[in-house]
Amino acid sequence: MNNNKGMSASIYENKGHGNCSNGGISSYCKDVTIVNSKCKVFEADEQSPAVVIVKRIIGGKEYLHAEPVEKPTGIGWMAGGTFIYTCDSRFREEFGNYPISLHDREESQKEYDILST
């Protein structure tokens, strides 16, 4: 199995507010490749970097978000205001029929402390 192949999805953002990913992949790419999808059709590359869908339980309900495969250099991946989605029916079968938040923003501890005060 090729871990660099997956399902292609588009990145969506509110153009009126600008990109808030602090240099994350949504600031320079229009697409991503979901590599932990059952669909292994598209190759991840610089124009469509590899992301994974992370499933968590928050408040007793399942929450999905996407994040880059690379390990963050800062405190961890967080939402930057963008979403991923595709009209591919395999996406709906696997992840539901709604856009998924792309957590591609990262901050150093110093940046996080300054922005959190």
CA pair distance 92, 90, nearest whole angstrom:
5
* pTM for the model: 0.90
Whether residue 15 is predicted with pLDDT greater than 90 in this model: the reply is no
Nearest to 49 by CA among 24, 20, 73: 24
Domain regions of the chain by residue span:
5-115
Average pLDDT over residues 34-55: 97
* Per-residue pLDDT reduced to its tens digit, 45-85: 999 999 999 999 999 999 999 999 999 888 899 999 999 99
* Per-residue pLDDT reduced to its tens digit, 101-112: 999 999 888 888
Under the banding of pLDDT at 50, 70 and 90, the label for residue 44 is very high
**Is residue 13 within 8 Å of 26, Cβ to Cβ?**
yes
Give the number of residues written for the chain: 117
